[in-house]
Amino acid sequence: MSLLDFFRLSKPKTAEIAKERLQILVAHQRVERNRPSYLPQLQQELLEVVRKYVNVDQEAISVKFEQDDNQETLELNIVLPEFQSETEEVKDEQVNI
Amino acid sequence: MSLLDFFRLSKPKTAEIAKERLQILVAHQRVERNRPSYLPQLQQELLEVVRKYVNVDQEAISVKFEQDDNQETLELNIVLPEFQSETEEVKDEQVNI
């Protein structure tokens, strides 16, 4: 089973479908354990990139970071604002100009 | 089972352990299907961010993009250069200075 299959199997339940979600997972399989991890800093930059595309608040983002001997994983779960509210924001900006 | 569990279960086989790998997965659960997808462009920006941390060639990156009615998934698999060769590069730079 590939990871893409896993995403397919883990579709939201009906009650959750109303919200758009963006999920980002980063897994780093490490050979050299003594090097400092760059995943926490990478996480910040990933969020900056995501914010270029969607307007997300800090509280809409949940982060998990785990590490064991040879693997580190970073999981970002982001609840996206609804489409309607985004269009309203665009309208507001046009009025301000 | 969480996605982090899946990463734990899908550890590399012994023969593959010698290589460092970075895997990035992005899943977008969409409510509004008519909006254009930003994942292909996001993919480019994610790779630019990763390249700040690790020196990866284009051929070391494999990309899968899949979409169905309410979900899009992007999977980036990156084989990282070995630690030793990176340190050698740093030494070379120091000699040049």
Per the structure, the count of domains in chain B is 1
Is the Cα dihedral A86, A88, A93, A94 positive or negative?
A: positive
In a domain, A1, yes or no: no
CATH of the domain at A52: 3.30.1070.10
A61 within 8 A of A51, measured Cβ to Cβ:
no
The per-residue pLDDT for range B43-83, each reduced to its tens digit, is: 899 999 999 988 888 889 999 999 888 889 999 999 987 65
Instruction: State whether residue A39 sits within 8 Å of chain B by CB.
Output: no
Helix (H) or strand (E) run with residue A3 in it: helix A3-9
Instruction: State whether residue B85 sits within 8 Å of chain A by CB.
Output: no
d(CA B21, CA B15): 13
In a domain, A3, yes or no: no
In a domain, B6, yes or no: no
Closest residue in A to B2 (Cα) is A10
In a domain, B9, yes or no: no
Say what the pTM is: 0.71
Question: Does the distance separating the beta carbons of A8 and B3 come in below 8 Å?
Answer: no
d(CA B47, CA A49): 11
Range(s) of the domain holding residue A88: 19-96
Question: Does the distance separating the beta carbons of B20 and A25 come in below 8 Å?
Answer: no
Residues of chain B neighbouring A3 (CB-CB closer than 8 A): 3, 6, 10, 23, 25, 75
The per-residue pLDDT for range A27-83, each reduced to its tens digit, is: 998 887 777 888 989 989 999 998 898 888 888 999 999 988 888 999 999 998 775
First to last CA, chain A: 51
